[in-house]
Structure 1
């Protein structure tokens, strides 16, 4: 019987071979380098120190979680579901002796693996790039904060990926799923600005959840409530997404 592990390995390999994945990984490694060089040159020419080296990894994490990694998540979800439906490779996947649930779960898990991988790559690149900025002393004390923040960023991005997979079930082309995901994400982000009272009910409002983990003491109650909300959203999105995938006629 084709196992879930083998299916995860297969889906992970398929994503690894895509040019989009290679491009995003390269940009994940290069963006912190480019940003640190620009900031260092600007601060040197202006004679100011707006961003210190110890702040740089957190600044970059804000950029990665708000814009860059959600875009990768939307592309990955669109390609794995709507894209495979469009080019009819989904039929080949389902001819294997594996249940639809394992196919659906393996695709979702592979996205989660890449989210974790990209966050780890972003953390490493940001730490190395921060040496180009002033104030590089005391890295030992900051390292734990960085690891906590990058680790905390995983759950909101995973929730976004599950929501994107759910949305992809309504489309037969990856371009349609990707465009709609981006538009809905931007709408939710803008809506949180104009209607802040509704932002608490939107998973897109917690891409900066890692900020709550910084400093001491942590807002334990707030962190727990956001964790439970994101977990509930993830379970709901996953359940509905699988239901729609299971009912699809290929």
Structure 2
């Protein structure tokens, strides 16, 4: 347990020290504020609604569709293919750590980064609501918390999928190009075949919206939850299976 915790802290510190990670967090905090100012300034000109009570989940829609998936891909590229190319992964495996401990530490660090992004987005958007004069009530805040937690589960399933994909690449650039194309194709595929959406974690990036609706049945929410949790377990296991057998 001590080795896993030490490895996790080490991976988390490495991720935080990367300039790309810092830029992601800075931009993630600034964008909602800029959007709030833009909406307020355009309201008298175009008659648009200013920052409304739906602002937190409107921003969540944008982040889960584009921004957080990019954060996931960049960090997976650094955690796996880039470390193979730079041979730093071999150094990690020379320590008294098993491959599973190294793999688990990397996945846990990435999951923490995703959760931190969502928590920061939620806090910033709620503050924007407060200063814009449209604070949320207790019931609405609880609904937003549910939506953000649902988004976390969906993003973890997406991360598990691309961690599995990353095991087939030895350079971060090749992984990034392939993964962006794969993600774009997965997002477009449901327009051509609706059956694909039911079996693709990429189709669940806006899954949190279902948790905000009072008309969605509990059975549908349970089915979606089980699929995402199963995807996490499946792709985590497949990724480790390949990671455990690859030469570094």
- Tell me whether the two structures share a fold, i.e. TM-score over 0.5: yes
> Map of 1:55-70 to 2, 5 A cutoff?
55-70=54-69
Shift of 1:112: 0.5
Please tell me whether residue 7 in structure 1 is matched to residue 4 in structure 2. no
Please tell me whether the aligned partners of residues 54 and 139 of structure 1 are also in contact (alpha carbons under 8 angstroms).
no
Tell me the C-alpha RMSD between the 2 structures: 1.6
Instruction: Report the equivalent of 2:36.
Output: 36
The CA deviation string for residues 190-235 of structure 1, in whole angstroms up to 9 with x for no partner, is 1112222221111111111111111436521111101111111111
Shift of 1:65: 0.5
The gaps in structure 2 that reach 5 residues or longer are: none
Please tell me whether the aligned partners of residues 165 and 241 of structure 1 are also in contact (alpha carbons under 8 angstroms).
yes
Instruction: Report the equivalent of 2:160.
Output: 162
> Map of 1:92-103 to 2, 5 A cutoff?
92-103=91-102
- When structure 1 is superposed on structure 2, of 39-48 and 135-144 the one drifting more is 135-144
The CA deviation string for residues 94-126 of structure 1, in whole angstroms up to 9 with x for no partner, is 011010001011100111011110000010111
Tell me the number of residue pairs that the alignment of Structure 1 and Structure 2 aligns.
248
Task: Look up the SS of the partner of 1:48 in the other structure.
Answer: coil
Q: Tell me how far apart the structure 2 counterparts of residues 44 and 219 of structure 1 sit (CA, whole Å).
A: 40
Shift of 1:132: 5.4
Shift of 1:184: 0.4
The TM-score, its normalising length taken from structure 2, stands at 0.95
The TM-score, its normalising length taken from structure 1, stands at 0.94
Which one of 178, 181, 184 corresponds to residue 182 of structure 2? 184
Instruction: Report the equivalent of 2:86.
Output: 87
Task: Look up the SS of the partner of 1:153 in the other structure.
Answer: helix
Please tell me whether residue 75 in structure 1 is matched to residue 74 in structure 2. yes
Q: Tell me how far apart the structure 1 counterparts of residues 191 and 225 of structure 2 sit (CA, whole Å).
A: 22
Task: Look up the SS of the partner of 2:233 in the other structure.
Answer: helix
Instruction: Report the equivalent of 2:134.
Output: 136
The gaps in structure 1 that reach 5 residues or longer are: none
Shift of 1:138: 4.6
Please tell me whether the aligned partners of residues 57 and 146 of structure 1 are also in contact (alpha carbons under 8 angstroms).
yes
Instruction: Report the equivalent of 1:123.
Output: 122
Q: Tell me how far apart the structure 1 counterparts of residues 32 and 22 of structure 2 sit (CA, whole Å).
A: 17
